[in-house]
Amino acid sequence: MHENVTEIVVNPAQQRKGRMVFLLLAVFFTVPLLVVVAMIKFDWRPTGKSYGELIQPPVSIMHTSHWVSDQQQALPAFWQDKWNMVLIARDCDAVCMQRLYDLRQIYVSLYKDMIRVQRVLITQQSDTTAIRARYPDLLIINGQPEQIVDLGRMLSNGGQNTLDAQRVYFIDPLGNVMMQYAPAIEAKWIRKDLVKLLKASWAG
């Protein structure tokens, strides 16, 4: 009995085409991240007025792990693959809740770019039932109080305690904290800066 052996012949042209497709995909996914790193390293921002304050010196949370949500879900790198609008507050009082409303309005107004952004609340508040009821799609991080204190210390840079300042931050998909916005900055200006960042970067 003879076995039928099918010889697979690889077309050199197909090989070259396959390599080209792989190279293009590598460039497509790598270049945006390099652009974001350059933006941080060289203090470059999109042209035009910026309404937020650039974080100086840059703060990276890439090395930080063990983030835990209010639902006890481990979040080793919650910022990955998204641009993050992050509100940091010790306790979410009326001012904090209004800011969460602002962030939701900004998020909804992004339309097709909504999938590139997520909203995050980092807080020491243990009972988040009321927040969760009002904003069920909000990512709430409150599982490791000491870690939240450390983050606040990193971002304050010797200034006002970040946990009490209730600022909004932009964190890029690489874990770099890029911009901060005081409570006095209106939502429309935060949105304007975010739209510029999304246009300038393919990341996220």
Domains defined along the chain, listed by start: 32-200 (3.40.30.10)
pLDDT digits (tens, 9 = 90+) for 112-154: 999 999 999 999 999 999 999 999 999 999 988 788 888 887 7
Q: Across-strand partners of 121?
A: 87, 140
Among candidate residues 145, 156, 146, 204, the one with its CA nearest the CA of residue 180:
156
Q: Across-strand partners of 59?
A: 177
Among candidate residues 71, 10, 46, the one with its CA nearest the CA of residue 170:
46
- Is the pLDDT at 17 greater than 70? The verdict is no
- Is the pLDDT at 156 greater than 80? The verdict is no
* pTM recorded for the entire structure: 0.74
Strand pairing of 53-60 and 83-89? unpaired
Among candidate residues 158, 162, 204, 201, the one with its CA nearest the CA of residue 181:
162
More confident residue, 21 or 6: 21
